[in-house]
Amino acid sequence: MLTSKLREALICLKAGRVTLPYPFAPHDPEPGFRGKVTIDADLCFGCGGCANVCEAGVILLTDSGQHTRVLEFFWRRCTYCGRCQEVCPEGAVKLSQEFQTATNDAADLYLRLEVFMGPCQRCGRCFPPPTPLERMKRTGFRADGEGGRA
């Protein structure tokens, strides 16, 4: 009994350290790790594909008027399945390597994104303005804008 325990102890000592020093040292997840979801607002054109496939109900999509589509992200519900990343045609949604998502502030896990859309003159349905310049027109500059913008 005693000898078997000593043998076990020797094996353990011989193996050296087998665990990572995290959280005392940074830890980089393996490639392909599905961490915190990020969104690039400049790439999103409001198609709603991500909202359609999200089983956890993280993404809520509403149209507030004919020109604005609102996407709300409730990240606290996310299960990191990665389906939103798979379907996004623009690569706007990505799962990052970030895994330290604990927070005391619920606002950290909420995002509201407004996408400016153009309504079809015939059917009234929204579509994204085709060029960045036209998107800027939709958003609009102030007439008395600073820096001489009109």
Interface ranges with ligand SF4 (CB under 6 A):
37, 39, 44-50, 53-54, 56, 58-59, 78-84, 87-88, 90, 92-93
- Count of C-beta atoms within a 10 Å radius of residue 29: 12
Q: In angstroms, what is the minimal distance from the CB of 44 to ligand SF4?
A: 3
Q: Which residue lies nearer to ligand SF4 by CB, 92 or 126?
A: 92
Q: How far is the CB of 62 from ligand SF4 (least distance, A)?
A: 12
Closest CA to 66 of 124, 139, 112, 121: 124
- Specify the residue, 23 or 31, whose C-beta has the smaller distance to ligand SF4: 31
Q: Minimum Å distance from CB 52 to ligand SF4?
A: 8
CA separation, residue 44 to residues 4, 79, 94, 101 (Å): 62, 21, 12, 23
Please report how close the Cβ of residue 143 comes to ligand SF4 at its closest, in angstroms: 30
- Whichever of 80 and 141 has its CB closer to ligand SF4, that residue is 80
For tokens 């102890």, the residue is 9
Nearer to ligand SF4, 56 or 109 (CB): 56
**For residue 136, what is the enclosing H or E element?**
helix 132-139
CB 66 within 8 A of CB 138: no
